[in-house]
Structure 1
Amino acid sequence: MNSVRRHALTGFAGLALVYLLLPIAVVILFSFNDPVGRFNYTWAGFTLDHWLNPLAVPGLGEAMRASIEIAFLSSLTATLLGTPIALALVRYAFRGRGTTNLFIFLPLTTPEVVLGASLLTLFLNLGVSTGFWTIVLAHIMFNVSFVVVTVRARLVGFDRHLEEAAMDLGANGWTTFTRVTLPLIAPGILAGALLAFALSIDDFVITLFTAGAQTTFPLWVYGASRIGVPPE
């Protein structure tokens, strides 16, 4: 029975993995396609020409660079803001703690269309021109929530006795934080930063509302899909 259960679980996991990787495999396969016309939806022949200079497609390099810059700035800022917020929520009791929790989780449960439309309305009412920096601000807003949740999960399982032992041995508060607390919660901080980076570089809906004339990689792909996605 255990052998049957193990094989069934292995088979189910394999099917799930195939389901997740199949779209990526199709994209890679069609990057070697030699399509007839603009649309790269039907296999017409094998070629390596598209891999000679994949960034030669007009606008693609600029869009990818903008997406990477936005993701880096927003994830870095969200990590610097979200880590102390998570520490405060876990370690300290203060007035407004429940309200702060509500505002932290609100972006996680609000549809992106609503967030994007709200941010666009805010920027227009403030007279702010949409573009690169409005995208960064919008991404920081929802990325902070993900960083807080990730770091907070790491802090909940943190053994406070390690900090007490460090202080008993003569370490002050700052030394204890930098030499004990920070290294132990670093995996949670790194996970939050990587999650924020991935969400930012992949975001389409909120970016569409706040981009103005700025083009990011998801927006470029969406625009290209309407006229024919090149194999590159």
Structure 2
Amino acid sequence: MRSDKNSHAPFALKVAAAAGLLFMHLPILLIFVYAFTTEDKSYQWPPPGLTLKWFGVTWNRPDVWESLALSVKVASISTLVAMILGTLCAAAVSRSQFFGRETISLLVILPIALPGIITGIALRSAFNLADIPFSMWTIVLGHATFCVVVVYNNAVARFRRTSRSLIEASMDLGANGFQTFRHVILPNLATALLAGGMLAFALSFDEVIVTTFTAGQQATLPIWMLEELVRPRQRPVTNVVAMVVVLVTFLPILLAYYLTRDGDQVAGQGK
């Protein structure tokens, strides 16, 4: 009897899957093509010619570097905040029994379930009421609200798969709370936190809607791209920057996938 692993999908299903993948990814491939076009004001197909000059133009644009630096800074700080708060929330929810635990878990997850425009309007209203000037730090606070969720989801899943007996054995052998965290809990959480942190960085790096409502005069890289499309000067430059955004967000997501795809087999073993 043939096992499920050796069975083949129907041809129609393969065609449908290929069509779906093309529908999702062909526009991204077009961005890559238009980054090399010789036409600087409009999109033509096929491109009238191919050139590498736009990479040099992009390299010499100071506004691109400023926006890129701001995006990296905001994403890094937001990820750090999310990793700390997400891990603490996950530890409290998974390792403690208290009234309203499921409600707190729902409230932690809620920001990523809400439309970004709702989160953006709410944060902007709160900053206005508190008379907080819009700056890089308001962007960080806005991004941290949804970055916490991805870290929390990864950490709480790993906490629940980690045997409580490991912590009890550590305590029985004389380890204090910090030693138990360092030598038992942290090794078991390492890949989950790393994956959650990379996903949070990717989400923050390309966020547009929440950034629009929480930024002042600052422009992150996605906001810069949006403004360039509204008033185009050198459209291939925008496509070159889009390539960078795709690569910067794709690589952490891919690595996070490879770190967590076998998590059920390595739970509690400090992968």
TM-score (norm 1): 0.89
Q: Secondary structure at the match of 1:142?
A: helix
- Verify: 1:38 aligned to 2:78, yes or no: no
Q: Does residue 142 of the first structure (1) align with residue 146 of the second (2)?
A: yes
Q: How does 1:143-162 map to 2 (within 5 A)?
A: 143-162=147-166
CA offsets, 1:160-201, max 9 Å, x none? 222233334333332222101110111111111111111111
Counterpart selection for 1:231 from 224, 232, 236:
236
Determine the structure 2 residue equivalent to 1:129.
133
The residue identity in structure 2 corresponding to 1:143 is: C
1:97 is displaced (CA, Å) by: 2.3
In the alignment, which residue of structure 1 is the partner of 2:81?
77
1:40–1:231 CA contact under 8 A, matched in 2: no
- Deviation per CA, 1:19-76: give whole Å up to 9, x if none: 44323321111111000x5234541211111123423235221111111110001111
Tell me which residue corresponds to 1:113. Answer: 117
1:220 to 219, 224, 229: 224
Q: Which has the higher contact order (CA 8 A, sep 6+)?
A: 1
The range that moved more, 202-211 or 24-33, is: 24-33
Q: Cα deviation per residue 1:86-111 (whole Å; 9 max; x = unaligned)?
A: 10110011244233223212212211
Give the superposition deviation at 1:132.
Answer: 1.3
- For 1:108 and 1:148, locate their aligned partners in 2 and report how far apart those are by CA, in whole Å: 12
Partner of 1:188: 192
Q: 1:3 to 1:138 in 2, by over 3 A?
A: closer
Q: 1:188 to 1:3 in 2, by over 3 A?
A: closer
- What is the aligned-residue RMSD (CA, Å)? 2.3
Residue 115 of structure 1 deviates from its aligned partner by 0.8
Q: Is the 8 A contact 1:38 1:227 kept in 2?
A: no
Of 68, 75, 81, 1:64 maps to: 68
Distance 1:8 1:170 in 2: 61
1 CA distance for matches of 2:158 and 2:27? Answer: 33
Out of 183, 198, 201, the position equivalent to 1:197 is 201
Distance 2:167 2:16 in 1: 44
Length, aligned pairs only: 231
The question of whether the paired residues in 2 share the 8 Å contact of 1:83 and 1:151 is answered with yes
> What is the Cα deviation at residue 118 of structure 1?
1.0
In 1, distance between residues paired with 2:130 and 2:83?
26
Contact 1:90 1:156 in 2 (8 A): yes
- Cα distance between partner residues in 2 of 1:129 and 1:199: 24
What are structure 1's unaligned runs of at least 5 residues? Answer: none
Offset at 1:153?
Answer: 1.3
Unaligned segments of structure 2, at least 5 residues: 238-271
